[in-house]
Amino acid sequence: MLIGSRLRCFAKGTWYLLFTLLFLTFSLLFPTFLWAQEGGRFVQDVRVEGLTRVPASTILSNIKTKRGLIINRETINQDIRRIFQLGQFQDVQVDEVSGPHGLVITFIVSEKVIISAIAIEGNKKIKDSAIREVITLPLHQPLNEKKLAESLEAIRELYAKKNFYLVDIDYRLRSTPDGGNEFVLHIGERSAALVRYVQFVGNTVFTDEELRGIIRTRKKGPFAFVTGTGKYKEEELKQDTLRLTFHYLKHGYLKVEVDPPQISLTKDRRYFFVTFHVREGDRYRIGKVTMEGDILTTKEELVADLLTKTGQIYNREFIEKDLQALTKKYANQGYAFVNIQPVTPTDEVNKTADINFQVFKGNRIVIERIDISGNTTTRDKVIRRELQVKEGDIYNETKIEESRNRLMALGFFKEVNFATPRGSRDDTLKLNITVEERPTGSFSVGAGFSTAENFILSGSIQKQNFFGKGWNGEVSAEFSSRRQQFLFSLTDPYFFDTEWILGISAYRTIFRFTDFDRESFGGGLSIGHRFFDYASVSLGYEAEQVDAVDFADGTPVRFTQNASGLTSLLNLTLNRDTRDNRIYANKGMLNSVKLEISGDKLGGDNDFFRVTGRTQYYKPIWKGFAFKTYARAGYIKSLNNDVIPLYERFFLGGANSLRGFLPQVVGPRERITRSNGTQADFIFGGDKMVILNFELEYPIYEPAGLKAVTFFDAGNTFGENEQFALDRLRMDYGFGVRWISPMGPLRFEWGFPINRKADEDKTVFNFTIGTFF
């Protein structure tokens, strides 16, 4: 019984298993059976139509539908995708026709056009070349939709950078005579979008007008052509949100929130309205100010030096300045990677915020090595001698900054970058100095015209970094109707790699003044030494043979008696130079005082003592605007009873002094009688001189080196019997254009005298080659 029961169960289980297998087999084969019943069970043939350029084998080798295989709808759909992925076709269709031995599958394709050229139309604000630089569409290949979208977006971004946010871009294909396809981009340039109005919502502490003064996004003003106000700039708006937030943080509003601005556009799409939403919050005062962590001296000493004080209105600007000062104080002691975090817990009842500076000083760092790169001409030692740190020194951030400033001040480099990667140990770092050299030499031969000197023929060789050793040299010659000059000079600022300065010069000059000509030749030798950081002192000797000739008819006898002679003098010069660049200064000062004594005891014919001083001041103001001041003063005194020779006296007027007056016409005059009986003024120069020049320089087109200048000059020379007096200063004002051209700096300036005399011109135009400051 038991065995029979088990046999029956086995038989029954086997029956169920066979039934299940038959059902699954039928389920899998039935769709194929139906497919075969609809159009043939097998693929009789696979064909491709619509091809003109691409071979059929390219498609047939990439699809899975093959002759003799059972037809599969999913495989055909995948084959369509495979054909599209080839990137050669813009449309793919499938046609199925029954044949005697199955289905004939035909892939009907439409090939993409080949771009043979790209044309740009409608653009006026941006040049074709700039647009082509951002187009990534490849030529002589099928049109790539992805590259097309990228190119259109890049063009829009290019216009956005120029403040044209509403540009319209269309494109079409145009057949070319040779059978090609030209891709034509048509750009519809609208006027630059301007800001019509800026408003604020939620502000109660500060008025709209006060907040408008904080941000840089403003409506167009009367001086927009200079300031650039009124332009809509997305990046500037992001910065304005931060500026508003920081303004509130400076005035105690610790939890202020300023949302990104809402922008709306007028219907004509010409103007933007900008709205800032502000949640000011409460105003906080400073509670306790403390320091924790790695303290260099004492907590009390460090806290006492901070700007942030207990009881003050909370001021984020003070806190950030304190962070910078503390970080620098630690960095100057060698802790280059100090980390200082201000923690500001608040008391919501009393509306105070404690400031706790937490200091993690890290290791004291030693400069392991100094590597220099980028200097193809300048020798390493020229760079190293300007550094205030050396290998093995404790890291000092102030000295690092001074080193970079000194290198830039040489004028040899366009860029100087310092990097401080970690060294071989945790307590060391490397100082990597990368420089980009600028051309420091020039060879020029030119001709020109100057309003003061008429025709000018010149040639010169100048080098600020001879042989890469930092020597400064010049050989030049110049000819004009008023001046002939030959000059040679050479200066070694680090004589024999020491702090001594050696200079030599030789020259031959002929200069025509209003009432006489000055002819001279001579030379000089000077040796100096640096002291402190930016100062130097030098002692020099000069010898010059001078002849004054061709005096005007009626020249007083006292000036013709000692018209020629040898000037043999010693000079002492004190100099302090903090300019950021000795060739292209933008900020800093140059102060110099020069004492000279000449006499027969030095082998000369002229006995006099002269002192001159000058100050040059450069101050960048804003966006290329710079304020410049140049002041000079001088005094000369005879050491015997002889009159100071004309050629040693002070004369003013012209492009390099008082620009509203003709050259050498400002100074003491004496009424003389010509041989024909007529009266005239003889200008004999002064023994005292002072001149002040003030300039505001601003860019016109910086990439071309084009700048404009507005100036004011004041000065005069005074005779032996005259006292210096402010009310006797001659003054002028004017404007000009300056261009750093390939042939050198060109100056075009118009000067207008303020206290003009009857015989003086109302306007003086000066065109010169060379710098003023």
Report yes or no: 437 and 348 within 8 Å, Cβ to Cβ. Answer: no
The alpha carbons of the chain give a radius of gyration, in whole angstroms, of 42
pLDDT tens for 183-242 read 888 888 877 678 888 999 999 999 999 999 999 888 876 655 555 567 778 888 999 999
pLDDT of residue 563: 73
Q: How high is the mean pLDDT of the chain?
A: 83
pLDDT tens for 33-54 read 444 444 446 888 898 888 888 8
**3-state class of 736 per DSSP?**
strand
> Quick one: 412 exposed, middle or buried, by C-beta within 10 A (0-12, 13-18, 19+)?
buried
What DSSP letter does each residue of 297-343 carry, written as one string? S-HHHHHHT-S--TTSBP-HHHHHHHHHHHHHHHHTTT-TT-EEEEE
Rounded-to-integer distance, Cα 421 and Cα 406, Å: 22
User: Is residue 159 within a helix (H) or strand (E), and if so which, with residue range?
Assistant: helix 145-161
Report yes or no: 667 and 730 within 8 Å, Cβ to Cβ. Answer: no
368-407 core/surface letters (b: 16 or more CB in 10 A; e: else): bebebebbeebeeebbeebbbbeeebebbbeebebbbbbb
User: Is residue 146 within a helix (H) or strand (E), and if so which, with residue range?
Assistant: helix 145-161
Residue 374 region, left (φ>0) first, then alpha (ψ -120 to 50), else beta? left
Q: In this predicted structure, which of 270-284, 476-490, 647-661 has the lowest mean pLDDT?
A: 476-490
Instruction: Tell me which residue has tokens 């014919």.
Output: 605
Rounded-to-integer distance, Cα 560 and Cα 563, Å: 5
Segment 707-730 mean pLDDT: 90
pLDDT of residue 451: 44
Q: Work out the percent of the chain whose per-residue pLDDT is above 70.
A: 86
Rounded-to-integer distance, Cα 378 and Cα 437, Å: 8
Rounded-to-integer distance, Cα 245 and Cα 295, Å: 32
Q: Which two tokens stand for residue 648?
A: 């040693």
**pLDDT at residue 581 greater than cutoff 80:** no
Phi (first) and psi of residue 11, to 5 degrees: -60, -45
pTM listed for this prediction:
0.60
Rounded-to-integer distance, Cα 732 and Cα 710, Å: 11
- pLDDT band with cut points at 50, 70 and 90 for residue 460: low
Long-range CB contact pairs, 155-158, < 8 A, 24+: 155/131, 155/185, 155/187, 158/126, 158/130, 158/131, 158/134
Rounded-to-integer distance, Cα 91 and Cα 109, Å: 6
pLDDT tens for 535-554 read 999 999 999 988 877 777 76
Please give the order of strands across the beta sheet that includes 168-175.
115-121, 181-188, 168-175
> Quick one: 127 exposed, middle or buried, by C-beta within 10 A (0-12, 13-18, 19+)?
exposed
The CA-CA-CA angle for residues 13, 17, 19, to 5°, reads: 115
**pLDDT at residue 1 greater than cutoff 80:** no
pLDDT of residue 40: 45
